């Protein structure tokens, strides 16, 4: 009888784990489940599924149970479990590795500002998730922690660099997980794993204890299964940082969440069937855009075929972005040198990281400043492209989720994975340069049932339009009802 009751209880909690964070919070507030029951169910899901996925690399179960004892039950997400990506966001007393052997023993000395806001909102953080070393690649395969697998097809990448977070949310371990995005690292795994993933406007979320990262390319937020979860969390965390280097425009609404069911004005949406500079994309990605164009027309919006038109070539942007990224990639190694007084020994960092470090340290201050100024010229040109449109619609990726191992690193050709990465993900980095809000929406599944996302991007500071448009799509497509093979 006890085993039978346990099976019933487990079945009920599995259904709760399939709900979004707002629904889970409602069940707690209505006293239909307790925070402890939900957190333990989430831990059990991690323990059950992680051996196949390798999404969670640092369990924080004791920290989570301790946090339950201090919970403010009136907090908006009191008792709802979540996961942290093991990069940028730090949790005092817990390992902070950035996916690298070099930092496997590094313990965070403080909570980052974003983590403080998650805790204040009532979230219970139960672990940290897998990522590529230093977040450099759009796949999650590191020497330090091994490959993370896509729950829709275990041989495929979940994307990167927030791949562990995306895999965990898609597998219903948690309703949402933290990620960050310096070149597409929220949107890429969202597309690969069938999730909604928003990169907010530059400086919408705080980066404390830092003021800016990689000259403003990096933003943080969450990966979710529902649009409303993403909106609700940004309402909480997207409060101006008085110590930030940049400042996002006022959001223009009292609450993103409250706007989701309001009437949506007729939007001017431009769309492209190519990469930003006219290159081809996979047919499945074209189909995703075609389906979304048809859907948006049915919703009453105005659609126009329009490719990106700015006075810069893809080669110009690649040179600039790679230089800024290479200098940014020197930071972890420089941090290690500062802590230890020596450079990392051979094998402590991967070939790509080592190669980018060597490139980065050779870029002079004046040359870096020229690249930085060029970045702002590019940003102004991209923003001007949006003067007469509300949204630009493209595929999120150049192709469906690729096989794990395709971006394996070779010491003899350390930069080779970057060439594969540029073909896999040619769409996303330009909006890290411009700082605009940009989201991947899970609109399509390929013939072999792999998720395919489309990218929607709006004017600088206008997350509201993206939330409203994505929510319109969500109500028709009901993508939350799709479940990956690992839990089907």
Instruction: Give the tens place of pLDDT for each residue, 2-26.
Output: 454 454 477 889 999 999 999 999 9
What are the φ and ψ backbone dihedral angles of 439, each rounded to 5 degrees? -135, 150
What residues are annotated to the active site? Answer: 85, 161, 185
* CA atoms of 98 and 112, how far apart (whole Å): 14
pTM of the model: 0.97
DSSP codes joined into one string, 449-481: --EEEEEEEESTT-HHHHHHHHHHHHHHH-GGG
Q: Does residue 63 carry a pLDDT above 90?
A: yes
Which residues, 6 or more positions from 375, have their beta carbon under 8 angstroms from its beta carbon? 215, 320, 324, 433
Give the β-pairing of 391-395 and 268-271. parallel
Q: How sure is the predictor about 149, in pLDDT bands with cuts at 50, 70 and 90?
A: very high
**Over residues 407-435, mean pLDDT:** 96
Residue range 177-204, pLDDT digits in tens: 999 999 999 999 999 999 999 999 999 9
Question: Which helix (H) or strand (E) element contains residue 394?
Answer: strand 391-395
The structural domains of the chain, with segments of one domain joined by +, span 2-481
Which residues, 6 or more positions from 337, have their beta carbon under 8 angstroms from its beta carbon? 343
Q: Give yes or no for a contact between 436 and 382, defined as CB atoms under 8 angstroms apart.
A: yes
Q: By CB neighbour count within 10 A (0-12 exposed, 13-18 middle, 19+ buried), where does 51 fall? A: exposed
* Residue keyed to tokens 């990096």: 218
- Dihedral sign from CA coordinates of 392, 393, 398, 404: positive
Domain 2-481 has CATH 3.40.640.10: no
* CA atoms of 66 and 43, how far apart (whole Å): 14
Give the β-pairing of 146-147 and 141-142. antiparallel
Which residues, 6 or more positions from 314, have their beta carbon under 8 angstroms from its beta carbon? 275, 276, 277, 279, 426
């Amino acid at each position: 009888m006890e085993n039978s009751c346990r099976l019933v209880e487990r079945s009920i909690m599995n259904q709760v784990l399939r709900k979004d964070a707002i629904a889970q919070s409602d069940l707690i507030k209505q006293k239909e489940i307790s925070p402890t029951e939900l957190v333990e169910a989430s831990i059990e899901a991690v323990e059950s599924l992680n051996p196949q996925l390798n999404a969670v690399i640092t369990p924080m179960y004791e920290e989570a149970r301790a946090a339950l004892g201090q919970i403010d039950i009136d907090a908006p997400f009191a008792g709802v479990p979540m996961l942290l990506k093991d990069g940028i966001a730090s949790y005092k007393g817990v390992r902070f590795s950035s996916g690298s052997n070099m930092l496997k023993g590094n313990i965070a000395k403080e909570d980052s500002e974003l983590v403080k806001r998650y805790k204040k909102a009532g979230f219970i953080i139960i672990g940290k998730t897998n990522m590529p070393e230093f977040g450099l690649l759009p796949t999650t395969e590191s020497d330090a922690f091994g490959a993370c697998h896509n729950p829709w097809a275990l041989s495929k990448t979940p994307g990167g660099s927030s791949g562990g977070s995306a895999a965990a949310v898609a597998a219903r371990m948690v309703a949402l997980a933290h990620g960050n995005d310096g070149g597409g690292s929220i949107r890429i795994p969202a597309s690969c794993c069938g999730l909604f993933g928003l990169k907010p406007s530059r400086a919408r979320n705080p980066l404390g204890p830092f003021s800016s990262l990689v000259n403003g390319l990096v933003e943080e937020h969450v990966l979710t299964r529902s649009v409303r979860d993403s909106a609700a969390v940004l309402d909480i965390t997207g409060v101006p940082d008085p110590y930030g280097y940049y400042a996002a425009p006022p959001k223009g609404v009292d609450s993103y969440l409250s706007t989701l069911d309001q009437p949506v004005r007729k939007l001017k949406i431009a769309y492209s069937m190519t990469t930003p500079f006219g290159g081809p994309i996979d047919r499945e990605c074209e189909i995703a855009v075609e389906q979304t164009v048809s859907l948006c027309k049915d919703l009453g919006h105005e659609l126009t075929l329009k490719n990106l038109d700015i006075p810069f070539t893809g080669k110009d942007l690649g040179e600039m972005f790679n230089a800024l990224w290479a200098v940014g990639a020197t930071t972890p190694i420089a941090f290690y040198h500062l802590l230890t007084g020596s450079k990392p020994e051979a094998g402590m960092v991967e070939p790509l990281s080592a190669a980018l470090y060597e490139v980065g340290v050779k870029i002079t201050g004046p040359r870096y400043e020229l690249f930085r100024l060029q970045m702002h010229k590019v940003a102004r040109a991209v923003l001007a492209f949006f003067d007469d449109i509300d949204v630009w619609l493209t595929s999120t990726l150049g192709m469906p989720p690729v096989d794990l191992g395709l971006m394996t690193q070779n010491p003899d050709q350390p930069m080779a994975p970057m060439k594969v990465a540029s073909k896999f993900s040619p769409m996303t980095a330009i909006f890290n340069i411009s700082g605009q809000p940009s989201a991947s929406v899970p609109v399509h599944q390929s013939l072999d049932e792999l998720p395919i996302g489309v990218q929607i991007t709006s004017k600088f500071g206008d997350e509201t339009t993206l939330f409203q448009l994505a929510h319109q799509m969500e109500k028709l497509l009901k993508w939350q009802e799709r479940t990956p093979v690992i839990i089907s």
